[in-house]
Structure 1
Amino acid sequence: MRIYNMKIGVFISGTLLWCTSYSILFAQGISASATPHQLIAGDMDIVERDHSISANGRNLNYKSTAGFMNMTNEDGVPKAKFYFTAYTLNNVASARNRPITFVFNGGPGSASVWLHMGGLGPRMIMMTEEGEATKPPYEVINNPDTWLDKTDLVFIDPIETGYSRPAEGEDKKQFLGYVEDIASVGDFIRAYVSEYQRWNSPKFLSGESYGTTRAAGLSGYLQDRYGMYLNGIIMISAVTNFATILFEKGHDLPYIMYLPTYAAIAEYHKVLPNEVTDLEAFIAEVSDYARGEYATLLMKGDRLTAEDKDKLADKLHEYTGLSKQYLAHTHYRVNISRFVKELLRDRKQTVGRLDGRILGVDYDHAGEGYDFDPSYSKAIYGPYAMAINDYIRGELGFETNNAYEVLTGRVRPWNYNNVQNSHLNNSETLRGAIHKNPYLKVLFINGYYDLATPFFATEYTVDHMFLDPSLRDNIEMAYYRSGHMVYIHRPSLEKMTTDVRSFFDRVLE
């Protein structure tokens, strides 16, 4: 074990806003005074250890690097302590040919624990085959599906998540917002690539949930601010257009986007009036209805005829199992908080938001919404919190007195000043990055039972990016019979790993 405390001689000239960065930031409604100052690398307090694991038929000897990169401004004033965990394969002839992938989760307010200990890292938390918790205390096991056989991995905890914190005396608000977060995480990536001499390695990002929002933003920030062109992005349970998922009166789009997911979950729990023999064909049918007749009828509002209402009630009952009376009472618009309570009300059970396969039981069966999300509180929170705390201190050998913030409210309020009076939609940033770098490929990973970021909303968003026809094949879609954390379902993890390994091969061929 080696403990480092070292100075990094890195100097970047210029300021955050320059040249094409101006056009991107101003297009999002950001004023020059609102943009964060550039961060550069200062001291690093890290622990390195050697490990070995078998994955994909190979014995992988690798090094873990766990600890803080302490970021300063250009005047050397401490600004933030970024915690990261990196895994790099040993005995590599040249890092020039070895890909590196920067990984983060979302929230905002989530550490990278889920992807780290759930499916990508060399060690993982043991769950049941279906993705529920085992009896505590839990067990950390080798992960044969780690991505380490294809790429080095750097798991990043944004400021106020995990162990990452602002420097003493620094206002945390400078890191807590769409623009601020992309700048600080992007500056960390630039500093890491420089310190570890990975500028000439193939570079990838992988984000989950709001982490995909961050990844889309970083595709523009890294490219336009630093000239760091990416090879690929893996978007797990994506959202880059928040208009597709935010339920508001008078805003019909989310009701359309969620219908295929409602149908998939209803089919999973066998509450539909008709038997479904082919899930994918059924989902395609519901998706066609959602983008067609359902969207058209919702547009009518109070102009719906009695015949229209009968059509809506019949189809929505067929696709969701909800009663026709209940559907009528909702104006044929069911939001998430109602769906998770109503679907199995007769059974006195609720369904999960992160994963509609997982069930819970409330105190009050007559309530409007559930008491807690069973797919978070019951299934994953305890095991993953144990895993990361025990693993970092034990196997990785890094210790700090801070609490590891798994999913925290410390980041609230999150600053969306760049899109005041509008929904954030940074799919345009991703489109611009692909148009400027036509070699950038993106893989979207979607869970059928995900109520947080529904797959149909991702399809809609991609369909409305209006990529040039010559670049549409740069985007790929993959689907799984799982939820938001696709990888907690063992068969889905195995399929996802196969899909991701193939993606790396295609991008790097």
Structure 2
Amino acid sequence: MKQSYRAGIKLASLLASVSVLGAGMLVAQPAAWAEDAKPAAETAKAKDGAADFFTKPQSVTSTGSVTVHGAHIDYQAVSGTLIVHPKGWDDAVLPDEDKDKKTPAAASIFYVAYFKKGVRPENRPITFIYNGGPGSSTVWLHMGAFGPKKVVTADDAHTPAAPYAIVNNNDSLLDVSDLVFIDAPGTGYGRLTGTDKEKTFFGTDADARAFTDFIAQFLSRYGRYNSPKYLFGESYGTTRSAIVANQLADDKGIDLNGVILLSQILNYDNDIDAAQMNPSVDQPYVLALPSYAATAWYHKRIPNQPSDLKGFLQEVEHFALTDYTAALQDGNSITPEKRDAIAQKLHDYTGLPVDYIKKADLRVNGGEFEKTLLGDKGVDTGRLDSRFSGPTMDQLSQYPFYDPQSSAMSSAYIAAFNDYARNTLHYGNSSVVGDGYQEYKFFSDAITKWDFSHAQPNTDFPIHGAVNVLPDLASAMKHNTSLKVMLNQGYYDLGTPYFEGIYEMRHLPISHDLSKNIQIVQYESGHMVYAHQDSLAQLHDNVAKFITSTYAPLSGK
């Protein structure tokens, strides 16, 4: 994929760099082909059926079982859609279509919910899980992390082509919580309909509102209002979670027990991908440096390679916040001696050539690092998981043209979920859509149309600039002082560097006492922490402990 996302969009996105990988997997017939093959009346009936399918809730129920850490769990799976509407929509008012000639916008949001059998809902937590993008489905967390089935992929190399193994997930969270995997509007088996549909749902606040409405509807439909409730968001999903947590409390009267974040970015001024476009703001370079060091350590590019990764990173973190920050703050007034000393130290920590560091004015952005670290071998490192590497497309380019990690495993996830959805969940073969075939959309084009403006809590207007939802999460924690927050991060994540998340949590506008409600854990993995099997097992154990420690079961249930 081209690197335009680096130059134009300040975004740390789960698999944003591979949002075109699904293209060309199926050969679509020309639009007129199906029309010519059917009588006009049958075609009109099919169109009406499809419209009805995407504007009314759907569901298919199946059953299954999973073994998690030796425990056998029987569950009911519900795959379906719920319909959400734009802000201000009144379900008591019917539109006068003859008057305005418009069809109100709506989004059918696809989900897969897993309910453990034989458990009272009051004592059974429920966790709402989603990926980011913007514009990504949740297939990655579903088939790679916490669903009852998972696809097997290679640890830090390209997974061979099909067939892919779909196996029991020993690390599913079904041992401690019911699970609801939610696909973002315009992805999965959900669709957007009506006038101005993309404008209505493709935006920071519009997207959060849709998820807030979905969760409230789901709790009502399945009688789960009195269950312990959790959000689990990855990447842009962490941005979404901060807003949704606050909106659920403010707009719906719903308090959460916990918010679980994976690969966080809450303040987009900290984004390392486009830091060069924001001169005078040097913080992204400071916060990315420990992840550069971890990557160089993994690929053995550190002079005098240390044996202890964590001890090494503590040293780098200290340097980043002290000498490196001071040097960058000097700007053009930095002395030649100080510039040379800092460049040498950056070489010691990252393995990048001293001359290159000087040419970059001590400021190397994410793409430049990925391109240069192993550039002498004609290899680019991964962005979302820098343990991965792949052949460079153009040795003269400044940035990579693709993400080796995304290329290494996306096909496996896409094939596995298509097989699983149709053959196990029995969803996606509707007779009213696509001549019996319904396409699962792994990505939408939302990122190219996204409205990044955001109205922070207690403000009367949106801010048009880099998104910052730290005030939203802080507001949620202040309204509900028992709300617990857990941040999970991979050392080898160059999309949302781990030290960035630590820095943001340290700068939440909350009291010192409330900051004790935050737990932070790192893993020797990347953005998709669960792509590394040992890290997935640790992630399961840590999240399971977080959930079970943040609610008190009712007695006698």
TM over 0.5: yes
Equivalent residue in structure 2 for 1:407, among 433, 443, 447: 443
Q: Which digits, 9 at most, give the CA deviation of each residue in 1:381-436, with x for residues without a partner?
A: 10111111111111000124442221332453101233545321111111111111
* Residue equivalent to 1:473: 516
Q: Give the conservation status (yes or no) of the 8 Å contact 2:84–2:210.
A: no
Distance 2:451 2:328 in 1: 32
Q: After the TM superposition, which residues 158-197 of structure 1 pair with which residues of structure 2 at under 5 Å, given as runs?
A: 158-169=184-195, 171-197=197-223
Change (3 A) 1:415 1:76: same
Distance 1:301 1:200 in 2: 55
Distance 2:538 2:111 in 1: 27
- Which has the higher mean CA deviation after the structures are superposed, 161-170 or 79-88? 161-170
Change (3 A) 1:100 1:329: same
Q: Does 1:241 align with 2:284?
A: no
* Residue equivalent to 2:424: 395
* Residue equivalent to 1:87: 114
* Residue equivalent to 1:56: 69
* Residue equivalent to 1:102: 128
Q: After the TM superposition, which residues 20-99 of structure 1 pair with which residues of structure 2 at under 5 Å, given as runs?
A: 43-71=56-84, 73=89, 74=91, 75=93, 79-92=106-119, 94-99=120-125
Look up the SS of the partner of 1:198 in the other structure: coil
* Residue equivalent to 2:328: 298
Q: Give the conservation status (yes or no) of the 8 Å contact 1:42–1:71.
A: no
Q: Give the conservation status (yes or no) of the 8 Å contact 2:452–2:464.
A: no
Q: Give the conservation status (yes or no) of the 8 Å contact 2:238–2:266.
A: yes
Q: Give the conservation status (yes or no) of the 8 Å contact 2:156–2:388.
A: no
Distance 2:161 2:515 in 1: 46
Look up the SS of the partner of 1:238 in the other structure: coil
Q: TM-score, normalised by structure 1?
A: 0.89
* Residue equivalent to 1:459: 502
Distance 1:390 1:341 in 2: 36
**Which ranges in structure 1 are unaligned for 5 or more consecutive residues?**
1-40
Equivalent residue in structure 1 for 2:233, among 207, 214, 217: 207
* Residue equivalent to 1:369: 399
Look up the SS of the partner of 1:274 in the other structure: coil
Q: TM-score, normalised by structure 2?
A: 0.81
* Residue equivalent to 1:324: 354
- Which has the higher mean CA deviation after the structures are superposed, 466-475 or 294-303? 466-475
- Offset at 1:363? 3.3
- Offset at 1:150? 0.5
* Residue equivalent to 1:220: 246
Distance 1:215 1:172 in 2: 21
* Residue equivalent to 1:426: 469
* Residue equivalent to 1:147: 173
Q: After the TM superposition, which residues 484-499 of structure 1 pair with which residues of structure 2 at under 5 Å, given as runs?
A: 484-499=527-542
Q: Give the AA of the match of 1:406.
A: F
Q: Give the AA of the match of 1:468.
A: S
Change (3 A) 1:414 1:137: same
- Which has the higher mean CA deviation after the structures are superposed, 387-396 or 244-253? 244-253
Change (3 A) 1:199 1:254: same
Q: Which digits, 9 at most, give the CA deviation of each residue in 1:61-109, with x for residues without a partner?
A: 00100012234541366722111110000111x2011000011100101
- Offset at 1:488? 0.6
Q: Give the AA of the match of 1:98.
A: R
Distance 2:464 2:63 in 1: 50
Equivalent residue in structure 1 for 2:376, among 325, 346, 365: 346
Q: Give the conservation status (yes or no) of the 8 Å contact 2:453–2:467.
A: no
Q: Give the AA of the match of 1:362.
A: T
Q: Give the AA of the match of 1:368.
A: Q
Q: Give the conservation status (yes or no) of the 8 Å contact 1:176–1:412.
A: no
- Offset at 1:339? 0.7
- Offset at 1:52? 1.0
Equivalent residue in structure 1 for 2:298, among 268, 291, 296: 268
Distance 1:115 1:343 in 2: 29
Distance 2:179 2:157 in 1: 24
Distance 1:170 1:76 in 2: 18
* Residue equivalent to 1:310: 340
Change (3 A) 1:51 1:436: same
Q: Which digits, 9 at most, give the CA deviation of each residue in 1:234-292, with x for residues without a partner?
A: 10001111111141233211111100000000010001111111100111110111011
Q: Which digits, 9 at most, give the CA deviation of each residue in 1:306-338, with x for residues without a partner?
A: 111111111100000011100000000000111
- Offset at 1:162? 1.4
Identity of aligned residues (%): 37
Q: Which digits, 9 at most, give the CA deviation of each residue in 1:320-363, with x for residues without a partner?
A: 00111000000000001111110001111110000000011023
Distance 1:131 1:145 in 2: 22
Change (3 A) 1:386 1:267: same
